[in-house]
Amino acid sequence: MTGRGRGEHNGGSTAAERELAVHRHLMRFGEAPSRVAPVWSAAGTTVRGVESHLARLWGAAPAERDSTVTEKGLPHARASVLNLIVTVPDAEAAERVVRTLSGLGYRHPSRALVLVTLPDGAGPSLDANVSAHCHAADGNGVDRVCYEEVVLTVRGEAAEHLDGIVAPLLIHDLPTHVWWPGDPPFADPIFDQLVEVADRVIIDSGDFDDLLLGLRRLATLRRRSGIGDLTWRRLSWWQELTAQFFDAPRFRRYLPNLNRIRLRYAGAGEGGTGSLAESMLYAGWIASRLEWRRHTTAQPLRDGTLRLVLEGRYAMVDLDVAAVDAPNVPLGELVSVHLQARGEMGAAEFILDREENEAVMVSNADGMTALLRRVRMDPPSESELLAGSLMSDNREPVYEAAVRAAAIFLAAAREPEPAR
């Protein structure tokens, strides 16, 4: 598998050691307290064998309408609302997938197909582990929703034909989502096959190794399936607070006259430069809403810093993006947003400054400075971000417009290749 996360890749370990590390993480599905049936494991099995076990696991008596699994003699109804296909290229992704799906089940019970693909792996073509889980759907624990986690290890030539493996295991008439943790290999046939069976593909643009290339590929992908972006979900808090500034009619008149945006993101601390994804999507969002266009490059992208001049409807806009040292904020996440405008009554400034999990909202307009309030920020878990993406419509026009604008801005900020 060519996709990967941003952590270590265990370059010095053998393929067998890497596979073992992945499975040590994935075994936690079968150890979870929510498990309600013995884990079914089969080495060298077939798709038909996995399909048959799933049918037996949820098999209903002839007179019953609902499929059930028995936990200590008590039946529980399966409540899958979608199919979720997840790829696991390495041990880091395996840990991330287990942690995220463990928090997802009661929100969106699904048939989760977790794929470990090893085109060069030795051993049987297909191994499988199936675990059934139930969560309380109410406070009294009587009503429960149940679902299953299916871990498939696919080796050799079979790993080049994933569509033929996953298609028979999907629950028909339910939407199918593909979540790809890490940097998606857009040109990889394996990725392409999964896109073909998906109604929606979920990625995290903050994981892209080449952000500009990734944003451009999203434009192509958008024409084939819906897209969910976890970085876009993280931005909703900033978008909501930004919009709140201009809810007041006396401030709204400044909105068309914004002439400077100053964005700072966590990226200069230990661990290297953070991703520009969140900052560029924020810039793309506000620019696309106000119909701004790129004009000139004031400072090419270097060391995570860039400046562009944009053409607004009534004024030129200075876009200033830079990384700062923010040890208590995850790399790549926004730290501050400063908006400036000119109006008939003079200049105005609107500020959001983040301090760990809290932000200060300040406005300076109409000759008055006001500390609006301190706002609590409870960063969503990846399970919550994924749940939000699963609930969204396949098409998100505002996100798509933000991606297009972000790609244009990032391309303009790239330093030109030296002439040969």
* All structural domains of the chain: 15-198 (no CATH), 234-413 (3.30.360)
pLDDT at res. 46: 95
Residue with tokens 């498990």: 35
- With a cut of 70, list the residues of the chain below it in pLDDT: 1-13, 58-79, 105-106, 137-143, 268-274, 344-345, 369, 371, 415-420
Concatenating the DSSP letter of every residue in 247-266 gives TSHHHHTTGGGEEEEEEEEE
> Distance of CA 343 to CAs 42, 254, 292, 337, 347, Å?
70, 6, 18, 20, 6
pTM: 0.87
DSSP label of 6: S
User: Which pLDDT score, from 0 to 100, does residue 9 have?
Assistant: 44
The CA R_g of the chain, rounded to the nearest whole Å, is 24
Q: H or E stretch including 347?
A: strand 346-355
Q: Would you state the pLDDT for residue 249?
A: 84
Structure-derived torsion over alpha carbons of residues 203, 208, 211, 217, reported in degrees to the nearest 10? -50
What is the β-pairing status of strands 144-155 and 110-118? parallel
Q: Please measure the distance between the N-terminal and C-terminal CA atoms of the chain and give it in whole angstroms.
A: 35
| CA distance linking residue 213 with residue 215, whole number of Å | 6
- Output the pLDDT for position 23: 83
- Structure confidence at residue 268 (pLDDT): 64
Judged by DSSP in three states, 70 sits in strand
Please spell the DSSP secondary structure of 196-252, one letter per residue. HH-SEEEE-GGG-SSHHHHHHHHHHHHTTSEEEEHHHHHTHHHHHHHHHHTTSHHHH
